[in-house]
Structure 1
Amino acid sequence: MIEAARRTWRFLEPYHGMIYFAPEAAAAYEQLGLTGRAGYFASRSAALGAVPAPVVVATFYNFNPVLVGESITAAWSTTDPAAVLAARHTAGDQALRGVLGDAISSPEMRRAAALLREAAETVTGDVTGRPLFAAHAALPWPAEPHLVLWHAQTLLREYRGDAHVAALLTAGLRGIEALITHAASGAVPAETLRTSRAWSEDDWNGAVADLRERDWLTEDATPTFTPAGAARRAEIEKATDENSVTPYAHIGESACAELQELVRPYSRALAGKLMPWAVARL
């Protein structure tokens, strides 16, 4: 069941993730006075309400805390969470309609939305230790199937994300160290992770040195895992999977396989338009 759950989450990830790359979203946030990274941090954390900046910093685990704190402070001095949530909802609707067209009203969309909503609703009460998930789970469900599917995947994405943060903390990794181990896995280039999370080269190199001292990384010019580091990272992924499987286990492997087939065309279309690097994974 673990593999079925992971594959289902991966197939649906572009359906949620498109909101971070859709020009409709950037334009909507700019209309509220949010520029730079403020739109991203405000839109993803707005479900928490206008909480103090350190609370948002705590939930965005691997970003430079200075970037998060400055962005969210600027955001809530300019607009408010309700306006940002409304803008995000409208932008998501517009982006999905623009890419998927008539598919948003198809029987396949209705079926996919029903299946994923059932999975997500299984765990809406399982909020302990999952702050971003808990905040989004408290939001009302949209009415239209294409937005139901998007909201359900948003919930399950944050459900898994919170579990991953817990696993990283248990493994003794700071946010920047978590990024470095992600880079060492070969999944994403190190420079992409460093710059997108606003870490300096000095911060990055210092954290690499710390991980080498702790036998996570080799001494190679491009750090890779030592055997011990690879085993520890595998344990993190295993713990994340095990603490994220419940909603998918509830609907079962057959429904998960059906979901994968139903959403693959949608995710491929969205990735092709907004996240071309993700197409190969689908």
Structure 2
Amino acid sequence: MKAARQAWRRLEPVHAMIYFVPEGRDRFGALGLRGMQGYFASRGAAFGRASAEVVIATFYNFNPDLVRRALPSAWDHTTPEQVLAARTEAAGAALTRAGVHELAGLDETLALATRAAEAACQAPQGRPLFAAHATLDWPDEPITRLWHAQTLLREFRGDGHVSCLLTEGLDGLEALVVHAASGEVVTAFLKGSRAWPEPEWEAAAERLRERGLLEGDELSAEGKALRQHIEDRTDALALPAYAALGEDGCERLAELARPFGRAVVDAGLLRFG
């Protein structure tokens, strides 16, 4: 399971950069989308003309008011097909700018990631956001195929993560507060990108303190244990994809993925703002 997690984490920047790069903002803007419309419409377009309620449910941790300001009004300007095409084009352009397409091992990395993604497609039950993406056509170019494979693996894992949060009784905002308290992500980024008002954030923090999961603004021992349990369970739920590679295949993918993820980071593709 450790090798599978490493394979996901090291290749994840290849997917995640699409939410930050100017290539995406420019192309979504050309379609008439403004602000967060581009994000919600592009990630939700796999559902078709996604409603705000579908996105609120499946994305899980965004302030519903933020989503409702973006959807369904985004569909007054464009179509899901146009947004999906723009997203794929943007991904290819950004990864090419980072030189990812020239890295050694692209063919083998793509082959392993594709095998894992195709295995995930055999187990879509209970994973709505993943299942929607699994219906999309695979791109033609190797670099965008790699991005698509990692996108599928990310949404497969993400749906499992949401299931864990629900099972453990953490709503979307509480999950954000726990994440912030872990110290792994800057709190200001989570607050700004998810757009929860400060009083609601503090109310969620207080609920977590009452449960014994927070001490002040930091995770308690119980909170740390719960977060680790959720991460471990999320890893386990992602295994149907990575099991297709076996332990050796996962270790190889993790080894190959390191320079791909590093290239994305070094090129500044994950820079917010």
Which bin holds the TM-score, normalised by the shorter protein?
over 0.9
1:116 corresponds, among 113, 117, 123, to 113
Query: Which runs of 5 or more structure 1 residues have no equivalent in the other structure?
Result: none
Classify 1:86/1:35 alpha carbon distance in 2 versus 1 (closer, same or farther; 3 Å): same
The one-letter amino acid of 2:93's match is Q
Measure, in 1, the Cα distance between the counterparts of 2:100 and 2:55: 35
Q: Residue 214 in 1 paired to residue 211 in 2?
A: yes
Q: Is 1:21–1:274's contact at 8 Å kept on the other side of the alignment?
A: no
For the Cα contact (< 8 Å) 1:60–1:68, is it kept in 2? Answer: no
Q: Offset at 1:18? A: 1.3
- Per the TM alignment, residue 65 of structure 1 is displaced from its structure 2 partner at its CA by 0.8
Return the match for 2:193 from 196, 201, 216.
196
Cα shift at 1:189 = 2.4
Instruction: Report the residue type matching 2:266 in the other structure.
Output: G
- Is 1:3–2:2 an aligned residue pair? yes
RMSD: 1.6
Runs ≥4 residues deviating over 4 A: 275-278
Q: Distance in 1 between matches of 2:52 and 2:199?
A: 25
- Structure 2's unaligned 5+ residue stretches are none
Q: Which residue is 2:76 aligned to? A: 77
| In 2: Cα distance, 1:102 partner to 1:232 partner | 39
Classify the secondary structure of the residue corresponding to 2:77: coil
Share of identical aligned residues, percent? Answer: 49
Matching of residue 96 in structure 1 with residue 95 in structure 2: yes
- The alpha carbon displacement at 1:277 in A equals 7.0
- 1:54-65 residue pairs with structure 2 within 5 A? 54-65=53-64
Distance in 2, matches of 1:98 and 1:275, equals 9
| Partner residue in 2 for 1:254 | 248
Query: Match of 2:73, as an amino acid?
Result: A
Aligned equivalents of 1:206 and 1:14: distance in 2? 32
Contact 1:28/1:91 (8 A) holds in 2: yes
* Worse-matched range after superposition: 181-190 or 268-277: 268-277
- 1:175 and 2:172 aligned: yes
Secondary structure at the counterpart of residue 238 of structure 2: coil
One-letter amino acid of the structure 2 residue matched with residue 95 of structure 1: A
1:37 aligned partner? 36
Offset from partner CA, 1:197-247 (integer Å, 9 cap, x none) = 0011111111111111111111x3xx1122222222222112111101122
Distance 1:198 1:102 in 2: 35
Offset at residue 257 of structure 1 (A): 2.2
Shift in alpha-carbon separation, 1:102–1:68, aligned structure 2, 3 A: closer
Distance 1:255 1:133 in 2: 23
TM-score, scaled to structure 1: 0.92
CA contact (8 A) 2:16 2:270 kept: no
Aligned residues between the structures:
272
Match of 1:231 in 2: 225
1:164 aligns with 2:158: no
Of 232, 235, 258, the residue aligned with 1:264 is 258
**Structure 2 residue matching 1:215: 3-state secondary structure:** coil
* 1:126 CA drift (Å): 1.2
What secondary structure does 1:252 align onto? Answer: helix
Structure 1 residue identity aligned to 2:14: Y
Number of the residue aligned with 1:130: 127
Letter in 1 for 2:248: S
Counterpart CA distance in 2 for 1:231 and 1:101 is 37
AA in 1 matched with 2:159:
D
The one-character-per-residue Cα deviations of 1:142-181 (angstroms, maximum 9, x if unpaired) are 2222121111100000000000000001110110100011
C-alpha deviation, 1:89, in angstroms:
1.1
| Cα distance in 1, alignment partners of residues 199 and 133 from structure 2 | 35
TM-score normalised by length of structure 2: 0.95
Give the drift of 1:250: 1.5
Match of 1:22 in 2: 21
